[in-house]
Amino acid sequence: MNSSPVSPLVQDLDPEKMPAHVAIIMDGNGRWARQRLLNRVQGHEKGAETVRTIVRASREIGISHLTLYAFSTENWQRPKIEVQALMKLLEHFLESEQDELVENDIRLNTIGETERLTTGTREALARVIHLTENNKSMTLHLALSYGSRSEIVRMVQLLAQKVRSGEVDPRDITEDLVTQHLYTGKIPDPDLLIRTSGEMRISNFLLWQIAYTEIFVTPTLWPDFSREEFLGILKEYQQRDRRFGKIDV
Ligand code: FPP
C-alpha cells in the first residue's frame, strides 16, 4: 500500500534522516499459516524468524529504539494453547538470541503488564534484560501484555497517588509529566510506525506516543515481511515531509 516497489540498499538511506524510534505492529501470522494449511503456532514461529531479521537490520541501519508489539492485553483472550505457545516461543527466542544481543550491543527492555506473564517467561526476560543492561547501540523494546489504554490508566493512577501524597501539584501536570509516567517515559516517541497485513487500525498501541508518528501500512503478512521491504519503507519515510502541525517556511 505504502511501501516502495524498489528496494534500496542501506547506503541509499540518508544517515541524517534515520528514524530514532521505529515501532511495529506485527500482524498476519495466523493468516500466513492458514494460507499454507498450517496451524497458527507455525505462523508465529515463522513470525519469530522475521523478528530476528528486522532486529538485525535495525541494528545495522543505526536505529536507536525498535519497539515490537509482541503480545497485547487483548491477546490473553486467545485460546490457552496459543497463548502458551507464544510464551514458549518468546522464551526460546530469548534463549537463542541472547548471545547475539550481547555481541551486537543491543539492550532488551519490555513495556506492558509483564507481571501477568508466566514465571518461565518472566525469568527468561529478567535474565536477558540483566545481561544486556549496559548495551548502548540499540534498545529492543518488546511490548508484552501491553495495551495503551491500560498504560494510560496506570499513568493516571501513578499521578493521582503523587497528587494525594502532595508530591505533585495538579497545576504542574504537563504533557512531559504525563509522558514520564508511561512505560515509554524515557524513550523518544516513535518516528515511524509500521503495520503489516493491511489492517488500517492502531489496535491499542502507543496511542499517546504516536501523535506525530509517520504511519506505514503494508499488505505483507508479518512472516513474509523482509529486510528489503523494511529498507523500502525507511527510504519512503525519509522522503516524507514531517511538519509536526506547522507549515514549511
Ligand atoms: C499477530 O498475528 C501476531 C501476534 C499476536 C504475535 C506476534 C508474535 C510474533 C511475531 C512471534 C513471537 C515474538 C517474538 C518477539 C519472538 P495474528 O496471530 O493476529 O495474525 P492474524 O491476524 O492473521 O490471525
Query: If we measure between CA atoms, which residue out of 47, 44, 34 comes closest to residue 82?
Result: 44
pLDDT of residue 39: 97
Select from 191, 189, 186 the least CA-distant residue to 206. Answer: 189
Is 27's C-beta closer than 6 angstroms to any atom of ligand 1? yes
The answer, yes or no, to whether residue 7 has pLDDT greater than 80, is: no
Q: What's the whole-number mean pLDDT along residues 17-24?
A: 98
Which one of the listed residues 2, 12, 14, 27 is annotated catalytic? 27
For ligand 1, atom 1, which residue shows the shortest CA distance?
A: 27
> pLDDT tier at 246 (50, 70, 90 boundaries)?
confident
Q: Phi/psi of residue 65, each to 5°?
A: -135, 130
Tell me which CATH code domain 16-147+189-238 carries: 3.40.1180.10
Q: Where are the domains of the chain?
A: 16-147+189-238
Q: Furthest-apart CA pair in the chain: how many Å?
A: 59
pTM value? Answer: 0.95
Distances (CA, A) of 70 to 37, 76, 171: 23, 12, 37
From the CB of 114, is ligand 1 less than 6 Å away?
no
pLDDT at 190: 98
Active site residue 248: no
* Residue 72 CA to ligand 1 centre (angstroms): 10
The Cα 32–Cα 151 span in angstroms is 30
**Sign of the four-CA dihedral 229, 238, 184, 243:** negative
User: Where residue 6 falls among pLDDT bands split at 50, 70, 90?
Assistant: low
75 Cβ closer than 6 Å to some ligand 1 atom:
yes
DSSP string, 14-49: -GGG--SEEEEE---HHHHHHHTT--HHHHHHHHHH
pLDDT at 57 (0 to 100): 97
Q: How many CB atoms lie within 10 A of CB 5?
A: 6
What pLDDT does 169 receive?
98
Gap from CA of 109 to ligand 1 centroid (Å): 19
State which of 38, 39, 44 you would mutate to test the pocket of ligand 1, scoring each by most atoms of that ligand within 8 A of its C-beta: 44
Atom of ligand 1 at shortest distance to CA of 45?
A: 11
Share above pLDDT 90 across residues of the chain, in percent, rounded to a whole number? 91
Q: Is 42 close to ligand 1, i.e. is its CB under 6 Å away?
A: no
- The answer, yes or no, to whether any atom of ligand 1 lies below 6 A from the CB of 23, is no
Q: What is the pLDDT of residue 38?
A: 98
**pLDDT tens digits for 125-138?**
999 999 999 999 99
Determine the atom of ligand 1 nearest the C-alpha atom of 93: 16
Annotated catalytic residue within 2, 75, 104, 135: 75
Q: What is the pLDDT of residue 249?
A: 63
Please, what is the average pLDDT of the chain? 95
pLDDT digits (tens, 9 = 90+) for 40-67: 999 999 999 999 999 999 999 999 999 9
Do residues 118 and 126 lie in contact, with contact meaning Cβ atoms separated by under 8 Å? no
